[in-house]
Amino acid sequence: MNMQSYFNDDTRRVRSLRETYRYLIRSAGKQKPKLMLGLTLMFLSAALFGGSIATLYPFFLDLENNGAFGPYPALLTVLLIVSIGLRVAAEYYDTNGYSQRAISEWRERLGDKLRRISLSVLSGFRAGELNAVLIQSVNEAAGYAFSLMTMVIYAATIPLATAFVLLFFDWRFSAVILVVFPLIIPLYLWRRKAFRRGFSILAEANEKLKGEAVEFIQGLDVLKSTGQTENKQNQFKRVAADVAVIQRIGTKKGEYPNLIITSATQFGFIIMLIFGLIWVQTGTASWLILAAVMVMIARVSDALNFFVQMSSLLEIFVISCEKLEKVMKLPELTEKQAEKMPDNYRIRYQNVSFGYHEQQPILRHINLDIVPNTVNAFVGASGCGKTTLLRLLLRYADPQQGSVSIGGTDIRELSQNQLMSLISAVFQEVYLFQDSILNNIRMAKPEATDEMVIAAAEQAQCHQFIQALPQGYQTQIADIGANLSGGEKQRIAIARAILKDAPILILDEPTAALDTQNELAVQRALEALVKNKTILIIAHRLSTIANADCIYVIADGGIAEQGCHAQLITQNGLYRTFWQYQQEMNDDN
């Protein structure tokens, strides 16, 4: 929990406007052509709006000189209607769900990416960090892009278009707009820096708060039993109070620059008024014209003020895009597609060395030769690397040295699907998806019929307890998830493995956390599963693997001993010590 966030470095650098623009375009992904079309329509709408308000000048001039409305009210109305029409058309990007499509494409891309990242890389992330990227960052990046660009286009185009059209009638007013209003650009850039810093600090504090919250909730049982609830609660309160303080300071700090920039636009308004009054005084402009120009300036200021108020969203957007970019740049496991699948299931580890962090090897120079259709058990002290060793076969990560092969094919030559079709795994922790029980089992073999799923559940000793649930196999995990016992979840995992019927089976302490009754049921389920398969099993209780064809004792990153129970017990080694220790424990009980 004290790990540094993967994303925190480099989060305080303000991105240039060009980089920000590139993020905006990239965040639309495949929807980019639609986004560009929407933005072009928005630009035309803003230009026509700016132009239409500029026609107030000749309209008022006509009124003053000729005492008649002339053609300008009609022109103004037409331009306004077309501008509104274009804006409505441009909004199709959001209303037709293109930003939603961009969001879901990003999630797909990230999901695909995460699938290809090794576990050793993923373990560098803090709890909940990737979750936040998939949900919040994607929403902010792909969901905000169109609205943000619309805001920028309006703020830039309306003043320019107004000044441009005004140029044809009175260059002096046009010049004041072009000189005074761009002055907010340096102010805005100064404010961006403050915002960027503020948001980064807030994001870090929020992440810490999330981490504390997850730890507090997940660890509530332990905290209660150790009487530490109050301590942890106080720690949680302290972090929450820090976030509140940062938020308060951030709001306050953001308010001042906001006020200054908003005042700058008001200031522009006053400068225009002063110049206008001078020109009225000197007889080079009339009151009516001044009134028309002030109406225009009010509209121009509105667009700029809106931009100033909302531009902090641009920083949130950039921070989210940076997170997406970082995840997309993570190194991937190479993925190939073998032309021919292995025709036997002999598993070989050749000179395998691996560590989650390269400088801390967990396994060193491991050599294993596992004969098909045999039961192979892995034992050793907690943390010696048993799970890691078997995870290498699932390609949770690639070894830094050496190779793992099945039937003579290096597993790096197989695609993920090819490899997974050869292996089933049952771990101590069983994850059930928010779906029906039926589909939770079927996911092991999506094409399986209901009857096949039920047959697998029967063999896995699940059928009885599933039928007793309110909607039987259609019961949703969301409705009963917490009510399933560890043993019941294990049996669902075994049903999955039975249904999948892969030739290689990994069992990582499937009965370790179960009571005797559940253990017996799971043992019976396992008996149905293990026939005619190559089994790799991790077990703490040696009595459960005494019949294995080969037992490997892992210690100090290597295979310290190997052989069947009878052979190992005659050696005066680690296995014999473990065995005697467990026998004594059993006798004491």
Ligand X SMILES: Nc1ncnc2c1ncn2[C@@H]1O[C@H](COP(=O)(O)OP(=O)(O)OP(=O)(O)O)[C@@H](O)[C@H]1O
Residue 11 is a binding residue for ligand X (CB under 6 A): no
In the bound complex, what is the minimum distance in angstroms from residue 387's beta carbon to ligand X?
3
Distance CA 472, CA 496 (A): 17
In the bound complex, what is the minimum distance in angstroms from residue 305's beta carbon to ligand X?
50
In the bound complex, what is the minimum distance in angstroms from residue 121's beta carbon to ligand X?
10
List the one residue from 15, 191, 196, 386 that touches ligand X (CB under 6 A): 386
Listed ranges 189-197, 336-344, 378-386, 567-575: which one lies at the site for ligand X (CB under 6 A): 378-386
Q: Quote the DSSP letter at residue 238.
A: H
Is residue 522 within 8 A of residue 511, CB to CB? The reply is yes
Helix/strand/coil for 112: helix
Total of residues contacting ligand X (CB under 6 A): 12
Helix/strand/coil for 371: coil
In the bound complex, what is the minimum distance in angstroms from residue 382's beta carbon to ligand X?
3
Q: Quote the DSSP letter at residue 545.
A: G
In the bound complex, what is the minimum distance in angstroms from residue 493's beta carbon to ligand X?
17
Distance CA 98, CA 30 (A): 10
Q: Quote the DSSP letter at residue 311.
A: T
Residue 362 is a binding residue for ligand X (CB under 6 A): yes
List the one residue from 200, 301, 388, 440 that touches ligand X (CB under 6 A): 388
Backbone phi and psi for residue 365, each to the nearest 5 degrees, phi listed first: 50, 55
Give DSSP secondary structure letters for 20-69: HHHHHHHTTGGGHHHHHHHHHHHHHHHHHHHHHHHTHHHHHHHHHHHSS-
User: For ligand X, what does the binding mask look like between residues 314 and 353, x meaning CB under 6 A?
Assistant: ----------------------------------------
Distance CA 328, CA 322 (A): 10
Listed ranges 172-180, 376-384, 410-418, 495-503: which one lies at the site for ligand X (CB under 6 A): 376-384
List the one residue from 2, 334, 382, 589 that touches ligand X (CB under 6 A): 382
Residue 383 is a binding residue for ligand X (CB under 6 A): yes
Distance CA 398, CA 358 (A): 12
Residue 385 is a binding residue for ligand X (CB under 6 A): yes
List the one residue from 25, 37, 119, 183 that touches ligand X (CB under 6 A): 119
Distance CA 565, CA 575 (A): 9
Q: Work out whether the CA dihedral 64, 70, 75, 81 comes out positive or negative.
A: positive
In the bound complex, what is the minimum distance in angstroms from residue 348's beta carbon to ligand X?
20
List the one residue from 169, 356, 427, 465 that touches ligand X (CB under 6 A): 356
Listed ranges 156-164, 205-213, 380-388, 467-475: which one lies at the site for ligand X (CB under 6 A): 380-388
In the bound complex, what is the minimum distance in angstroms from residue 510's beta carbon to ligand X?
12
Residue 4 is a binding residue for ligand X (CB under 6 A): no
Q: Which is nearer to ligand X, 29 or 385 (CB)?
A: 385
For the chain, the distance separating the N- and C-terminal CA atoms, rounded to the nearest angstrom, is 37
- Which of positions 97-116 make contact with ligand X (CB under 6 A)? none
Distance CA 538, CA 385 (A): 11
Distance CA 299, CA 94 (A): 25
Q: Quote the DSSP letter at residue 360.
A: B
Q: Which is nearer to ligand X, 161 or 493 (CB)?
A: 493
- Which of positions 121-140 make contact with ligand X (CB under 6 A)? 123
In the bound complex, what is the minimum distance in angstroms from residue 452's beta carbon to ligand X?
33
Is residue 500 within 8 A of residue 425, CB to CB? The reply is no
Q: Which is nearer to ligand X, 58 or 380 (CB)?
A: 380
Residue 427 is a binding residue for ligand X (CB under 6 A): no
Q: Which is nearer to ligand X, 164 or 356 (CB)?
A: 356
Is residue 406 within 8 A of residue 342, CB to CB? The reply is yes
Distance CA 314, CA 238 (A): 30
**Residue 237 identity:** K
Q: Which is nearer to ligand X, 134 or 555 (CB)?
A: 555
Write out the residues near ligand X by the rule CB under 6 A: 119, 123, 356, 362, 380, 382-388
